[in-house]
Amino acid sequence: MTVFHLRAAGVSLVLDTRGTAARILHWGPDLGDHLPAEDHFVPAVPPSSIDVPLRLSLLPSLEEGWTGRPALSAGPLRLIDAHASENTAFVRHSSPDSTQEVTTELGMSAEGVLRLRHRATNRGDAELTVPGLDMLLPIPDSAAELLDFTGLWSHERLPQRAPLRHGVWSRESRHGRPGHDDAFLMIAGEPGFGFRAGRVWAVHLAWSGDKRIWAERSALGYGVLGAGELLSPGEIRLAPGESYATPWLVAVFSDAGLDGLSDRLHPWIRAHSPARLPRPVVLNTWEAVYFDHDLGVLSDLVDAAASVGAERFVLDDGWFAGRRDDRRALGDWFVDAEVWPDGLHPLIARVEKAGMDFGLWVEPEMISPDSALAAAHPDWILDGGTGPTWRRQRALDLTKAHDYLLDRLSALLTEYPIAFLKWDHNRDLLTPHSGRQTRALYRLLTSLRARFPHVEIESCASGGARIDLGILELVDRFWTSDTNDPLDRQSIQRWTGVLIPPEYLGGHLGAATAHVTGRTSALGLRLATALFGSAGIEWNLTAASESERLDIAAWITEHKRLRPLLHTGRVVRADSPDPAHLLHGVVAQDRTHAVFALVTLGAPRAALPPPIRLPGLDPDRLYTVRPIGVPPRTLQDAPPPWLAAGSATLTGRVLAEVGLPAPLLTPEQALLIEVSPH
């Protein structure tokens, strides 16, 4: 067998399949056409160690002398086959008695994104238990600082950084969904890496259930990033001939900081799970009316939404039989006959007459103990309904309820012209067998999409507790967070956006006083915050003033003009020495056009804030820059001249290196800047 060199867009993966095990010799910057001689990667043998050089394999285990966290608890396996085509390698290992086989697929995309997964197959004639099967990738000694994420409801994707010391830093999710505290990405990089600089290696597990993702630096000298499904004992038992495929590990290297990761991931995601563009501007009823469903009130809201330019009207929770509050009725997916005597037809007719399409909220994986469904099928409650309820609800065992849900959802989608489902999931499962449930969910979504390919689906889980690349193969949009407070949203969107392109991330304009935090924010900041993603409104517009409605209408017009750029361009974020100043933007792929937002989270550290340096533009091109949107509040005796003049003409080089003198924004303001070819 041989050495495979998977290469694309400045990234190399070198896979050695000579000998009895496959080994990744290098994952990182492109090594060029000439790989070192065969033995170059063989290390020395240290004292007090195994007597042969320790070489990390694709499935590291005790048998080879690896005393770090193994990839497969059962072993040993030996390499029996390897081949590659089109930047994808397949390697096959087998147990000495040939009863257990593990095939690994490693593919490098044109963008330099590496995907890796194993498939274990029972080749014997007795049952085989798979105790755990993980993917591991080596990282160099220079990757000495870690970044991953934690969070809580309405505060998803809080970054946390720490040095990578000897030992394992492992993040484990047992929520039955990734959870608000999902690690999301495990990033190891050169100390001090930022958005624009530093070498970084990152992994994400494309999986919506229990999982672990970790970094390890062993005292032996090796460093790895690893991830896999978190399996409970005995969860995967394979009958003879059966296989278990792990989720995909998505792995990215960048020599240009976190933006470099997005530069690979975003185009790859856009090609792999394309969003349907243009993303319609949504009005969602949740924070506008909550459970107060009334045709008259909602009809007024429909008209208000259409008058500002919304394109989709989404009826949130509260429409189905007996659902008067969040304590009941989940599972009874019939339109409530009391509230909606003529069904949803009159509302949808109004929505369509106003020129919008219609979306509906559902939470199919759940069941309320008092529902008719629970009375009819008590055995469908996951794990028999022991353990605490959560939001007064329980989970449905999807392996049992699959057909019911497919029929009910199909009936709704057939009776009504529904363009969009907001698919919610509002509790942790608290079951040891969540993998079964996750696979059943994927099956259900796959069946539904096959029947109704035109229906878009949004993954929502109490906000952003289920945002991952596994479910993204089956949905079109994520509800990023339940908070519409723009200050929280700035941070949540910034970090979620390292992995997920903006057009997949729902971001809505909320009321002046945010419902979740009680904080009041300026309209300009709220609009600027909701401009970049899949935009929408979550506010009772009938209560908005005339001038607010005019501003919102102008914002929607701007969003529609800019969304072809915002939803296909390169996301850039500046590193700022002042944590009160955030700068982010989107630059067209051909670098002719860009939009940036400067956001002040608090008071600046200096009377004169740093200049606004705009990254990602073509250094040699001449651009015109001008402010757009609602002007932010400032406190200054005189604005910088370019702002007073209303525009400036500068090269990309000057904009990146010298920048624009910043106006003195008061806290919690946003300045939007459009950059166009001169």
Could you tell me which residues are beta bridge partners of residue 628?
Answer: 672
Q: Which amino acid is at 620?
A: D
In this structure, what are the phi and psi dihedrals at residue 411, rounded to the nearest 5 degrees?
-60, -45
Q: What is the DSSP letter of 411?
A: H
Q: Are 463 and 481 in contact (CB under 8 A)?
A: yes
Q: Which of 63, 105, 326, 473 binds ligand DGJ (CB under 6 A)?
A: 326
Residue 479 interacts with ligand DGJ (CB under 6 A)? yes
Q: How far is the CB of 482 from ligand DGJ (least distance, A)?
A: 5
Closest to ligand DGJ by CB, 263 or 538: 538
Q: How far is the CB of 323 from ligand DGJ (least distance, A)?
A: 9
Residue 462 interacts with ligand DGJ (CB under 6 A)? yes
Instruction: Name the segment binding ligand DGJ (CB under 6 A); options: 39-47, 54-62, 219-227, 456-464.
Output: 456-464
Q: Which of 460, 588, 664, 670 binds ligand DGJ (CB under 6 A)?
A: 460
Of these residues, 16, 182, 332, 424, which one is catalytic? 424
Q: How far apart are CA 650 and CA 637, in angstroms?
A: 25
Q: How far is the CB of 541 from ligand DGJ (least distance, A)?
A: 17
**Burial (Cβ within 10 Å: 0-12, 13-18, ≥19) of residue 351:** buried
Quick one: CA dihedral 374, 377, 380, 385, positive or negative?
positive
**How does strand 200-206 pair with strand 248-254?**
antiparallel
Q: Which of 311, 424, 468, 668 binds ligand DGJ (CB under 6 A)?
A: 424
Instruction: Name the segment binding ligand DGJ (CB under 6 A); options: 101-109, 113-121, 458-466, 559-567.
Output: 458-466
Is 134 marked active-site? no
Q: How far apart are CA 253 and CA 223, in angstroms?
A: 15
Closest among 62, 74, 338, 84 to 218, alpha carbons compared: 62
Segments in 159-314 forming alpha helices (H): 257-272, 286-289, 295-308
Residue 420 interacts with ligand DGJ (CB under 6 A)? no
Q: How far is the CB of 320 from ligand DGJ (least distance, A)?
A: 11
Q: How far is the CB of 359 from ligand DGJ (least distance, A)?
A: 11
| Lookup: tokens for 634 | 């400032």
Closest to ligand DGJ by CB, 38 or 294: 294
Of these residues, 482, 488, 551, 618, which one is catalytic? 482
**Burial (Cβ within 10 Å: 0-12, 13-18, ≥19) of residue 354:** middle
Q: How far is the CB of 479 from ligand DGJ (least distance, A)?
A: 6
Instruction: Name the segment binding ligand DGJ (CB under 6 A); options: 129-137, 457-465, 596-604, 605-613.
Output: 457-465
Q: How far is the CB of 433 from ligand DGJ (least distance, A)?
A: 25
Closest to ligand DGJ by CB, 395 or 662: 395
Q: How far is the CB of 428 from ligand DGJ (least distance, A)?
A: 14
Contacts of 10 (CB under 8 A, 6+ apart): 29, 30, 112, 255
Instruction: Name the segment binding ligand DGJ (CB under 6 A); options: 11-19, 196-204, 459-467, 609-617.
Output: 459-467
Sites for ligand DGJ among residues 273-292 (CB under 6 A) = 286
Q: How far is the CB of 391 from ligand DGJ (least distance, A)?
A: 8
Q: How far apart are CA 28 and CA 147, in angstroms?
A: 18
Number of CB atoms found within 10 A of residue 240's CB: 13
Residue 316 interacts with ligand DGJ (CB under 6 A)? yes
Q: Which of 216, 263, 317, 468 binds ligand DGJ (CB under 6 A)?
A: 317
Is 424 marked active-site? yes
Closest to ligand DGJ by CB, 111 or 287: 287
Residue 551 interacts with ligand DGJ (CB under 6 A)? no
Residue 426 interacts with ligand DGJ (CB under 6 A)? yes
* Residue 184 Ramachandran class (φ > 0 left, ψ -120 to 50 alpha, else beta): left
Residue 145 interacts with ligand DGJ (CB under 6 A)? no
Q: How far is the CB of 424 from ligand DGJ (least distance, A)?
A: 5
- Please tell me the count of residues contacting ligand DGJ according to CB under 6 A: 12
Q: How far apart are CA 678 and CA 676, in angstroms?
A: 6
Closest to ligand DGJ by CB, 115 or 394: 394
Q: What are the E-state strand segments in 545-644?
A: 570-573, 581-587, 594-600, 622-628
Contacts of 671 (CB under 8 A, 6+ apart): 528, 597, 598, 612, 627, 632, 663, 665
Closest to ligand DGJ by CB, 130 or 321: 321
Closest to ligand DGJ by CB, 344 or 562: 344
Residue 539 interacts with ligand DGJ (CB under 6 A)? no
Residue 515 interacts with ligand DGJ (CB under 6 A)? no
Q: Are 483 and 462 in contact (CB under 8 A)?
A: no
**Burial (Cβ within 10 Å: 0-12, 13-18, ≥19) of residue 547:** exposed
Number of CB atoms found within 10 A of residue 196's CB: 18
Residue 463 interacts with ligand DGJ (CB under 6 A)? yes
Q: How far apart are CA 610 and CA 619, in angstroms?
A: 20
Closest to ligand DGJ by CB, 497 or 536: 536
Q: What is the 3-state secondary structure (H, E, C) of 487-554?
A: HHHHHHHHHHHHHCCHHHEEEEEECCECCCCCCECCHHHHHHHHCCCEEEEECCHHHCCHHHHHHHHH
Q: How far is the CB of 288 from ligand DGJ (least distance, A)?
A: 12
Position with the least CB separation from ligand DGJ: 317
Quick one: CA dihedral 359, 272, 469, 79, positive or negative?
positive
Residue 344 interacts with ligand DGJ (CB under 6 A)? no
Q: How far is the CB of 168 from ligand DGJ (least distance, A)?
A: 33
Closest to ligand DGJ by CB, 14 or 537: 537
Q: Which of 357, 468, 482, 503 binds ligand DGJ (CB under 6 A)?
A: 482
Q: Which of 184, 193, 361, 532 binds ligand DGJ (CB under 6 A)?
A: 361
Closest to ligand DGJ by CB, 459 or 490: 459
Q: Are 513 and 541 in contact (CB under 8 A)?
A: no
Instruction: Name the segment binding ligand DGJ (CB under 6 A); options: 214-222, 413-421, 460-468, 623-631.
Output: 460-468
Number of CB atoms found within 10 A of residue 195's CB: 23
Instruction: Name the segment binding ligand DGJ (CB under 6 A); options: 12-20, 188-196, 345-353, 455-463.
Output: 455-463
Contact letters for ligand DGJ, residues 209-248 (x by CB under 6 A) = ----------------------------------------
Could you tell me which residues are beta bridge partners of residue 117?
Answer: 105
Contacts of 467 (CB under 8 A, 6+ apart): 156, 178, 182, 184, 459, 478, 480, 496, 500
Binding footprint of ligand DGJ on the chain (CB under 6 A): 286, 316-317, 326, 361, 424, 426, 460, 462-463, 479, 482
The residues annotated as belonging to the active site are 424, 482
